[in-house]
Amino acid sequence: MPRMIFITLPITDMPRARAFYEALGFSINPDFSSETSACVVVSETIYFMLSTHDQFRQISVKPLVLPKDGASATFALSCDSRAEVDAMTEAAIAAGGQSLHEAEDLGFMYSRAFEDPDGNGFGPFWMDPAAANG
């Protein structure tokens, strides 16, 4: 069985967060969601667990550092094409996210960056398969 990744993200407004991630083309798994959390299906092996701040504090013993106040992580998401990178970023901006910088085109790799309405950072990217395989 392939290893699965579940990344828990603190959010302030559950309906807004659900709508944002659905606007990016991801689905919500209702079996693992509630009023205080939502399971965003990114792929068969990657999931974002959205948690309200109160719910997040029950999960972690460490103090919650809000993504709007400082960065602790960013999440790079591979895409199948440059067009998919652009489409995901534009969908994020249209759904209430914010662009973090202009496109970076290195020839073999193309990327952009955005944050969700709560400040969680994402970097969709496309890499030429020949470069990715070394």
2-38: pLDDT as tens digits: 899 999 999 999 999 999 999 999 999 999 999 999 9
User: What is the mean predicted confidence (pLDDT) over 106-124?
Assistant: 95
pLDDT in tens, 59-111: 888 888 888 888 778 899 999 999 999 999 999 999 999 999 999 999 999 99
Q: Can you list the domains of the chain with their CATH numbers?
A: 1-60 (3.10.180.10), 74-134 (3.10.180.10)
**What is the C-alpha separation between 63 and 4, in angstroms, rounded?**
26
Residue 94: φ, ψ to 5°: -65, -25
What does the DSSP 8-state code read for residue 117?
T
**What is the C-alpha separation between 100 and 67, in angstroms, rounded?**
14
> In a 3-state reduction of DSSP, which class is residue 11?
strand
**What is the C-alpha separation between 46 and 55, in angstroms, rounded?**
20
